Structure 1
C-alpha cells in the first residue's frame, strides 16, 4: 500500500527548468495563454448549445444555466490557478495529484484526463466534419456521399493538426492566434447583428413551470427522484450540467505551464481571463438566441441559423458556419496539445513507456507521443460512435476538477511552506464549494456514462498495477519519496 501511495516530491515536480527532468522550451506569454484558453473553450457549441437547451430543457432559464455553469467552472478555475502557480508543470491535475495524494491517485487522474482529452479530440473532429459538410452545402455546393466525405474530412483535419503540433509549436501558436481572432469576429457579428432583432417578450418568465417527461429516468439524479423532468429549476440545473461541456477546456491552459514565461503568475491569469471572456460571450450569444425566437419555436438542429433565417437575415448563416468551423478547428488543435503534455508528463515519470517522453532535437516538441495521440484520435473518430459518448468527456473532466478542489485544501494543510503565485480566496470555503458543485454536476450525468467511466477506470487501474507501479521512477531508490521539510524554491 505504501508503494502505490508514494508521493512525488515538489522539488521533482517543479525542478523541470533546472534540468532535474526532461523539460520543454518556454514558448507562451500571458496573451498567448488567453488565446489558448479561448481556442479550446469556445467552439461550435456557442452557436448551438443555448438554443438546444432552451428548446428541450430550460426554456429562457437557459441564461441562468449558463451563469450556474460559468460560476461552477470559475470555482474550479481558481483551484487550478493556485496549484498551477505552485507547480508549473505540464502534467496539470495529474502532477498536482501525484504530489498531494500519491501515485495511484495520480494515475487515476491521469487516466481520466486521457479519457477526457482523447475522446474530446475525436468527438470534436467528427462534429467538425459534419459542420464543414453542412457549411459547404449552405454555400450552394452539392456534396455527394456526405458520410464518406465526412470520414475523409475527419482524417484530413486530424492528420493536419497532429502534424502542426508535432512539428512546430510556434507555427501552431501563430495559426491559433489567427483562427481565434476570426472566430471572435464571427461571434461579435452574431451579437451585433442579432441585438436589434431581440423581442423582450420572448424571454417570458425565466422559470418555466416544470413538467414530467414520458421517459424513464436516465441520470443519477433522475433515478434518485424517480422521474425525468424538464424546465423549472430542475431543468435549469440539468441544462447547466450539459452547458458545462461548453466551458471545459480552461484546465488545458494549466498543461502549458512548463512552456510559459513566468508561469506562476502568467498561468493563473491566463486561465481566469480566458474563462471570464468566454463566459461573457456565451451569455451574450444566449441572450441573443433566446431573445430572437420564442423558445418553443427554436430549432434543435440549427438553433442560431434558424433564428436568423426567421428574422430575415439569411447571410448570417454563412458567418455562423465559418465561425463554427474555425471554432472547432482551434478546439481540436488545443486538445491535441493538452493531451500531448499530459502523456508526456506521465511518460517521463515512468508510469507509461518513457520513450514517449522523448523531445525531438529538431522540432523541440514531444513528437513521438503527439503522433501516437493523433493516430488514436483518428481510430476513435473513424470507427467508434463517439458523438453518442460526449458525456464521457464531461465526467473525466469533472472527476479531475474534484481532485483539484480537494488538493487545494489538503496542500494548504500539508505543505504550507510552498511558494504560491496565486491563492484561492476564502479557502477552504471556495475550494469546498467547488467540490460540492462539481459533484452536483456529476450526478446530473447519465447512469450509462457512469458505468462506462467505471469500466474505463477499472481497466486503467489494472494497467497501473501491471506496468506503471513497477516502472515508476519513484520505484528507484535514488529519488526520495517524501519531500524535505522547509521552504521550496523553484
Structure 2
C-alpha cells in the first residue's frame, strides 16, 4: 500500500542525528542516581557488573531492532515490524503496549523533571513558595513547550536536541573526570558483598517462584540488572524515526547500535566513579552522586549534576514525544486509530494533530495520575515489545530468507533466541503487581481493538481488486 502525501513523513534525520536522538532518550537523570541506589541497596560495588549485564541484554535487543528496521524502514518501530511478520491483531497488541510505555514514560519523566528542577533551584539558595504548585506549573510548561516544538517545527526540535545533548554530555564528562581523581581503589575491595536477606520482602515474579530474595552477592548483582535496564530503554525510539531518515536501511541500525554502545560506556564510567569515591555503605539514596562529591569535598559538582540532570530529562521528554507521535501516527495511518491523527500539517509538515493530542494526554497523566508509582509499567511495555522483535527476527529469517537486509543479526537464530531469553528474565524480575496492571491494560486494549480498530482497519475496508480473482487485502505491503 502506498501512502499519500498527507500521510507521509518527510526525511529529516541523518546518521549523526540518530545517535543524538538515542543519547537524548537513554541518558537522563537516572545516570546520576541509579548506580548509587542499586549499589547501596542491592549490588554493592558489583553494580558495575549489573550495568554490564543490563547493557548486554539491551544490546541483544538492539541488534534485533537493527535488522528489522533495516528491512522495514517505516515509522512505528516494533508495531510496524509485528504487523508485517505476525499480522494485525498482534500488531495492535504491540502498538498498545508501546502506547503504554511511551505515553506513561513521558508523564513520569515530566513529573520527575518538575521535582528535580525545584530541587535544583533550592540548591542554588532560592526558596520557592508553594513548591508543589510550582512543580505542577513546571510540568505543564515543559510538556506544553516540547509538544508544541515537536508539532510545529521538527527541525527546531532537532537543533534544540543537539544543543541539550551536547551540554549534558559535557557535564557528564566533568563528573567522570573530576570524580576519577577522587576514586579510592579500596572502595572496590568488597566487590562481591556478602548476601543478606532484604529488609522488606520482594514481590517480583522470580521471587515468588524461588520463595526467597537476597541483596548483594551474585543474586544482588543479577537482581539489580532489571532496575538498571530501565536506564537503557529508549534506544528503540530511534527505529520510529526510520521513515524520516536518509538512507534508513543502513543509517538506522548504525544510529541505534552506536548510541546504545556509547550510553553503556558512559553509564559504566559513572558507576565506576560513583562506587569508587566513597564506600557503598555511605551512599545517600536521596542524591547518590551529589552526596558522593560532597563527601570528598567537591561541593560545586552538585550544581553541575543538577544542571545536567535537568537537561537530561528535558531531552528524554522531547524524544519520548517524538517516538510516541510516530507510533500512534502509524497506527492511525493503518486505520487502527482515528485516521485524522495521521494527517500531516501542510503548514508545518509535521503530524501536528497527533502530537498535540499526545502532549495533552501526557499533561493530564502527569498532573492528575500517580505516575511516580507506575515506572515499572514503562519497563514492562518496552520489554514486551523487545520480546516480539526478537521472535520476529527468527520468524522472518525462516519465512523471508531472501529479503534484502541493510543489517543482519550475527549468529542468528542463536542471538535472537538469547535476546528473547534475556528479555523474559528481565520481565520476571518485575513486581507481580506490574504484571497484573499490564494484563489489565492489554485486556482493555483488546476490547478497544474489537470495538474500534478491527472495524476501521484498512484491512477491513473494501477496496477494488486489481485483478478479478484477487482477494481483498491480498498482497498488501505496508510501506
TM-score (structure 1 length as normaliser): 0.94
- Name the residue aligned to 1:367: 352
Aligned residues: 472
Q: 1:262 matched to which residue of 2? A: 247
Deviations 1:201-248 (A, max 9, x none): 111232212111243330000111112221112211111000000001
Give CA-to-partner distance per residue, 1:371-397, whole Å, 9 cap, x none. Answer: 110010000000111111100000000
Match of 1:45 among 27, 30, 39: 30
Closer/same/farther in 2, CA of residues 125 and 366 from structure 1, 3 Å limit: same
What do the CA deviations read for 1:155-197 (whole angstroms, capped 9, x no partner)? Answer: 0000000000000000000000000000000000000100010
- Counterpart of 1:453 in structure 2 is 438
Q: Please state how far the C-alpha of 1:131 moved relative to its aligned partner.
A: 0.7
Structure 2 partner of 1:294: 279
2:73–2:249 Cα contact (<8 Å) kept: yes
Note if contact 1:419-1:489 (Cα within 8 Å) is conserved in structure 2. no
Aligned to 2:221: 236
State the shift of 1:20 in Å.
8.8
Deviates most, 198-207 or 366-375: 198-207
Deviation at 1:482, TM superposition (A): 4.6
**Secondary structure class of the residue paired with 2:230:** helix
Counterparts of residues 36-435 of structure 1 (less than 5 Å): 36-435=21-420
For residues 483 and 276 of structure 1, what CA distance do their matches in structure 2 show?
38
Superposed displacement of residue 78, structure 1? 0.3
Alignment check: 8 A CA contact 2:102 2:378 kept: yes
Once the 2 structures are TM-superposed, how far is the Cα of residue 417 of structure 1 from its aligned partner? 2.8
By how many angstroms is 1:477 displaced?
Answer: 4.0
| Stretch deviating more after TM superposition (49-58 or 225-234) | 225-234
Unaligned ranges ≥5, structure 2:
466-471
Distance 2:84 2:142 in 1: 37
Structure-2 separation of matches of 1:219 and 1:120: 21
User: In structure 2, do the counterparts of structure 1 residues 20 and 139 end up closer, same or farther at CA, with 3 Å as the change threshold?
Assistant: closer
- Structure 2 contact 6–344 (Cα < 8 Å) conserved: no
CA distance in 1, matches of 2:424, 2:193: 25
Cα distance in 2 for residues equivalent to 1:451 and 1:233: 28
User: What CA distance in whole angstroms lies between the structure 2 residues aligned with 1:258 and 1:114?
Assistant: 19
- What secondary structure does 2:374 align onto? helix
Offset of residue 481 of structure 1: 3.7
Q: Is the 8 A contact 1:217 1:226 kept in 2?
A: no
**Superposition deviation, residue 21 in structure 1:** 8.2
Whole-Å separation in 2 of the counterparts to 1:287 and 1:140: 30
Residue 22 of structure 1 deviates from its aligned partner by: 2.1
Give the Å deviation of 1:476. 2.5
Q: CA offset at residue 128 of structure 1? A: 0.4
- Post-superposition CA distance 1:279-330 (Å, at most 9, x none): 0000000000000010000001100000000000011011000000000000
SS for the counterpart of 2:459 is helix
TM-score by length of 2: 0.97
- Find runs of 4+ consecutive structure 1 residues off by over 6 angstroms: none
- 1:471 maps onto 2:456 in alignment: yes
2: distance between equivalents of 1:34 and 1:179? 13
User: Could you say what secondary structure the match of 2:7 adopts?
Assistant: coil
1:39 and 1:330 in contact (8 A); partners too: yes
Whether contact under 8 Å (1:198, 1:291) holds in the other structure is yes
